[in-house]
Amino acid sequence: NIDNLVVRYLFSEKISAEYISMNLISKIIFFLVIGIAPLMFAELKKLKNQLPLYISIFIVIFLGTIFFLTINIFHKEISIIIFDNKYLDNTNIMIQLSLANIFFGILYFLILNKLAKKNYMNLIFMFISMIIYTYALFNIKSDLGGIANIVLTFSIIFVISMLLDFKLFNKILYKAK
């Protein structure tokens, strides 16, 4: 939610309210993920295989795709239904933000997996990315679409940072010596 704080700081009350409203709608997929995450985390800790992680990611991608397509086709209509005609100028940012929240949903499970496996190096790498993300948000001199693009870009970067396998990298590095 750093982006919400930055938008509130950089833009007028009306524009920031519009962004935060569109962002809230786009977070529905992420809220669904949070509901099933505790169940999968318990399974990840018990099993040695990655099946619960793969099932979780598949669920996020499947539900996220349906949600994303719905947002992509009906973003203006959804805004009208929920907010009346109050926020119609930037409804297209829901598309980028809903896609970003699919990545954030995947990221949530990847973080749980790294915690269950006690692999903390990825979290450090993601923290560094988070600092760059915050810097990029504060230094954007653009519109709400620019902010949404940064959120989408960094959601992908965060997922990649969790997919890196530092333990495997260390094994390869020490084998080479």
d(CA 65, CA 128): 29
Compute the mean pLDDT over every residue in the chain, rounded to the nearest whole number: 81
94, 25 contact by CB (below 8 A) = yes
pLDDT category of residue 70 using cuts at 50, 70 and 90: confident
151, 20 contact by CB (below 8 A) = no
pTM score, whole prediction: 0.81
**What is the sign, positive or negative, of the torsion defined by CA atoms of 141, 147, 153, 156?**
positive
